[in-house]
Amino acid sequence: MKRHRIGGVALGIGAIVTSVAMTGSALAAPDPGKKACAKEARILCPAEMKSLSRKKVEACMIRSIEKTSPVCKSAMLKIKAERETSARRPAQGQAAASE
């Protein structure tokens, strides 16, 4: 009887450790818009929310940025800046390669 309980506890601890390990990468790169804009995204971008595509939801929220709260607007502006920066990087690398 004790072996079964110990096995169950070990299994439970293993699941917790795995869960923490998997969320570690999420903690390393937090998504500022997710928490700030979740409720607003459900209202402003319902089709995109149903698609479960973060990029589509972010694009919709950026298009609707003037309808969002100040906290959400700030998060969306950060995401927009990150997107613009990442879009420039490959172009800069291609320009350097062609020179």
Tally Cβ neighbours within 10 Å of residue 73.
19
For the question of whether the overall pTM of this predicted structure is more than 0.85, the answer is no
Tens-digit pLDDT string for the chain (99 aa): 555 555 444 434 444 434 434 433 444 556 666 788 899 999 999 999 999 998 999 899 999 999 999 999 998 999 889 888 888 876 555 555 555
User: Which structural domain range is residue 4 located in?
Assistant: 1-30
Do 66 and 56 have their domain in common? yes
Interatomic CA distance for residues 7 and 65, integer angstroms: 51
Do 24 and 39 have their domain in common? no
Tally Cβ neighbours within 10 Å of residue 76.
23
Interatomic CA distance for residues 73 and 65, integer angstroms: 6
The half-sphere exposure of 23 on its side-chain side, counting CA atoms within 13 A, is 6
Domains contained in the chain, number:
2
Query: What would you measure as the largest C-alpha separation in the chain, in angstroms?
Result: 73
Do 35 and 76 have their domain in common? yes
